[in-house]
Amino acid sequence: MPDLLSFELAVFLGGTFAAAFVTALAGFAFAMVAAAIWLYALSPPQASALIAAYALCVQGYAVWRLRRQLDWRRLMPFILGSAAGIPAGIAALRFASPAQLRVAVGGLLILFRF
């Protein structure tokens, strides 16, 4: 049992480092990179909660520094999309298995490349 726990912890820490590294370079994609790795060690609800918490921490500083330059009218489509997408995503988490979610995230990462 301790070996399994240490493996899951290593996967979690490796995913966290990789996602933070990519976010530092590109400025986005924390959730996609973290989910692609974390879903091997965590359940979808656990990974989603951690992604939301870590994304707020990682991006919160940048948004705070740039708050005076934000144009709220240009942000409105993103805010409305989030208002619709977050409840739909939470509902989907109830029915998605980790394997299905890994395949979906992997497919999105491949499509993002093109």
Domain residues of the chain, as ranges? 2-113
pLDDT in tens, 6-65: 888 888 899 989 988 988 888 778 888 898 898 888 888 888 889 888 888 877 887 888
In whole angstroms, how far apart are CA 62 and each of 27, 51, 68, 83, 102?
9, 17, 12, 22, 29
Q: How confident is the model at residue 2 (pLDDT cuts 50, 70, 90)?
A: low
Chain segment 32-41, per-residue pLDDT in tens? 889 889 888 8
Tokens of 62: 């940048």
In terms of Cα–Cα distance, which of 83, 10, 68, 64 is closest to 42? Answer: 10
Position 76 scores a pLDDT of 93
pTM for this structure? Answer: 0.57
Determine which helix (DSSP H) or strand (DSSP E) holds 99, and give its type and residue range: helix 98-113
pLDDT at 3: 63
Q: Please name the residue that has the structure tokens 């912890």.
A: 9
State how far the Cα of 29 lies from the Cα of 90, in Å rounded to an integer: 19
76-88 per-position pLDDT tens digit: 999 899 899 989 8
